[in-house]
Structure 1
Amino acid sequence: MKTNATAGGGELCAKQELGKAEEERHLLEEQNCALKQELRRAEDQRDLLEKMNCAQKEELRKAEEHHHQMEEENSAQKQQLKKAEEERHLLDEQKCALKQELRRAEDQRHLLKEENSALKQELGRAEEQCHLLEKKNLAQDLELGRAEEQRRLLERTCAALEQRLEQKRRKWYRRFLCC
């Protein structure tokens, strides 16, 4: 009996150990899965960093090109400055000619001011005439409104008279029929 009980106890023990091993295997699989995900994230991060590195190298290359271009532009600007100084001398001569033209323009402006003043007076008279015409137009509108009101009143009066006439006709017609 002891042997049988021991065999049964050993089987139970083996089952428990098998269960623990299964649990450990399940935990290890979960850990493995988590490590794979972490590895994927790390690889994604590495890819992102490589892309950023590439982009920074491209930016550096562009910055170097820009620096070279700026140096060329600086040289061109120095040449332009020399030309600008020559042009300034020519502009000084033009400035003198423009001052003379400005004096003539101011004389012309004075004449135009006088003409403008005369036109303003004429405009004032025209506005006054317009104001008078607007008053006349308003008076005519009021008169037209009164005439329209009179017409409506006459229409109502005519309608009332026609209604009374119709009532009298019916009354006489009934009397006539009764006789």
Structure 2
Amino acid sequence: KEIRISTPLLFSPGDYEAVIAAITPKGIKDGAVLLVGHGTYTPNTAQYAMLDYMLKAKGFSRWSVGTIEGYPSFDDALLQIESGSQKTIQLIPFMFVAGEHAKNDIAGDWKENLEKQGYRVDVLMEGLGQNPAIQDIIVQHARFCATHKYLDIVKKKKEYAQGKEKYE
């Protein structure tokens, strides 16, 4: 009778905090860490910039975010890395599955481009889906969606206009 779609991994500020807590233990202790997402050319690419901003706000100043498509780009991420003094970079796919993009773009093109610029580069070939803490966030989202319904603002405004104050 009803189909509900769960919220994405990065939906609320709390989600960003939980994702940061889940992924930062995977990063190297010395050197820069560059999360590489697929990216998009839609406004949804803002999620990557927000993740980058929140990483830094939480004290992970050596962490940066780049995307294969969209913003922040490889060059944007490289500017952040160049502003530091690290000569070692760990590339981590910010993708549910570390598949073809991780193999060809991250472990291939991005790694080679960084090495040409004198960086020592390591790639963590692990998708977000392999991280138990990320799995828990996804399950929490699904459970919440199964028991809660988002308000339909159009319906709510119509009911307010009709004098109804409670939305069911």
What band does the TM-score fall into relative to the shorter chain? under 0.3
Structure number with higher helix proportion = 1
Structure number with higher strand proportion = 2
